[in-house]
Amino acid sequence: MTTDFTPRLRNTEKNREIFDPVRKKYVALTPEEWVRQQFVHFLVADLQVPLSLIGVEIVIPFHGRNLRADVVVYSRNARPLLLAECKAGDVKITPQTFMQVAGYNLTLQVPWLVASNGEKLYCCVFNEASAQYDFVTRMPSYSEMTTRI
């Protein structure tokens, strides 16, 4: 991911906060939020994803529960393209992490899945021929993401 991430931070009486350009507000700066904001910056700065087509902490109804997807990238016609799960930097990305994001994807049906802890980033794409997800060695640009819809 991008190394030149310079977020807007502030201190309040209760905690330290980071500005989320997607939600257009300051939110509590947790280790997971740091990774989420770093990933959003990477999407916009490196992959040319329009900020207006990114959703953060999107509610996904699933079997009577509301789950929250960390980051969702949409096509220009509002179809979800990419679903990302962000973990704190000290949390390992495991097969269970991908099970979590794949579970969210039962509802969204996106072609691209990502899991990141800020240090490690794993991306996979749905392979229609095998009906499975294949890991890729690099993240796709926004224009490459849209070729899968």
In the chain, what is the straight-line distance between the N-terminal and C-terminal CA atoms, in Å?
Answer: 24
pLDDT value of position 36: 97
Domain 9-146 carries which CATH code? 3.90.1570.30
User: pLDDT digit string (tens) for 15-68?
Assistant: 999 999 999 999 999 999 999 999 999 999 999 999 999 999 999 988 888 989
Q: Is there a contact between 83 and 101 (Cβ–Cβ < 8 Å)?
A: yes
pLDDT value of position 3: 63
Distance separating alpha carbons of residues 28 and 15, to the nearest angstrom: 7
Cβ-count burial 47-59 (b if 16+ within 10 Å, e if not): bebeeebbbbebe
Residues 6+ apart with CB under 8 A from 29: 9, 15, 16, 17, 18
What residues pair up with 61 in beta bridges, in sequence order? Answer: 66
State phi, psi for 20 to the nearest 5 degrees: -100, 110
Compare 115 and 149 and report the one with higher pLDDT: 115
pLDDT value at 92 more than 80: yes
Q: Which has the minimum average pLDDT: 82-86, 120-124, 125-129?
A: 125-129
